[in-house]
Amino acid sequence: MINFGTGKIIAIPTYDSLGRLLLNPTPVRLGTMQDISVDIDVDLKTLYGSKRFPISVGQGKGKIEIKAKYAEINGAILGSLQFGKTAQAGVRAAVFDFVVKVPAAEGGSQAAVQFTVEPPQGATFVTDLGVLDAATMESLERAAVTEGQAPAASQYTVVDGTYRVAPSPRERTLLVSYEYRAEGANAKGQIFQLTNDVMGPTPAFSLLLQNSFDGKNLVMKFNRAVSSKVSLPLKNDDYAVYDLSAQAFADAADEIGYLCLF
């Protein structure tokens, strides 16, 4: 048969980061496929006599590597396939350059100007990520809170999302960045908590590749595979195309999978 295009890949997580069997795994689809390659490689052992070419050749160790490039990111590829983690409902994210208009001080007041940021989705403020002066694009210096004392003109303080800056005779525009979190079923997102697990136990998944062209079909199924690399090459002026590299190996029944043509 003749093949054209990349086909489709669906992976099903089977073991988590601690090597525990998953009872109700959610399949993971690699979307907008760009390239797929399956490399089957075995070592060849050769026996020579006194002549130039071997008199016997035997296959030694082998490996099967799967490489895929895809353009549609799925958090489960990183979270489930690479790290073996289960998703939790929630959002962890950042707000960049939130515009805050700081009014001019009235009557030459020397009191600090205070404002509180309100994260989206009713979320909770986590940590400050910096403040810029919009006029100069220079970073303000974060200072320790001193009771009863306003920050210097080039400084700011922050406690739980409440910022304090120095008074100014003119209105100022500040760009505030911060991290926030929202948790629970109402937060429309998935969080995969990444931990520093011990070496040895390995997250694994089964993987099915199918490609169809001109009425013919190629199907490859690998019963157990492990991801060795996932890359996110984000670009300034082009679409991101992500990479997944995995290696297949035998399952508990000593089976690798199957190859089907029809």
Model pLDDT for residues 219-252, shown as the tens digit of each residue? 999 999 999 999 999 999 999 999 999 999 999 9
- Weakest mean pLDDT among 15-24, 42-51, 94-103, 182-191: 182-191
pLDDT for residue 169: 87
Q: How many residues does the chain have?
A: 262
Mean pLDDT computed over 77-103: 92
Beta strands in 154-215 (DSSP E): 155-159, 162-165, 172-183, 190-191, 204-213
Other C-beta atoms lying within 10 Å of the C-beta of residue 16: 20
The answer to whether 174 touches 131, Cβ cutoff 8 Å, is yes
Distance of CA 215 to the CA centre of its chain: 37
For the ranges 68-72, 105-109, 214-218, 253-257, which has the lowest average pLDDT? 105-109
Question: Would you say residue 186 has pLDDT above 90?
Answer: no
**8-41+61-87+192-261 CATH fold:** Pnp Oxidase; Chain A (2.30.110)
Which distant-in-sequence residues (6+ apart) come within 8 Å of 26 by Cβ? Answer: 13, 76, 80
pLDDT of residue 147: 83
pLDDT of residue 262: 94
Tokens 């919009």 belong to which residue? 134
H-run or E-run covering 65: strand 56-72
Cross-strand bridge partners of residue 58: 45
Contact in structure between 77 and 240 (CB atoms under 8 Å)? no
User: Confidence class of residue 257 from pLDDT cuts 50, 70 and 90?
Assistant: very high
pTM over the 0.95 mark: no
Q: Where are the domains of the chain?
A: 8-41+61-87+192-261, 90-183
> Which pLDDT does position 207 carry in this prediction?
96
Rg (CA), the chain: 28
Mean pLDDT over each residue of the chain, to the nearest integer: 92
Residue pLDDT, tens place only, 133-184: 999 999 999 999 888 788 998 999 999 999 999 998 889 999 999 999 998 7
Return the structure tokens found at 59: 């296959």
Quote the pLDDT of residue 184: 75
The pLDDT assigned to 74 comes to: 84
| Cross-strand bridge partners of residue 59 | 44
DSSP type of residue 21: B
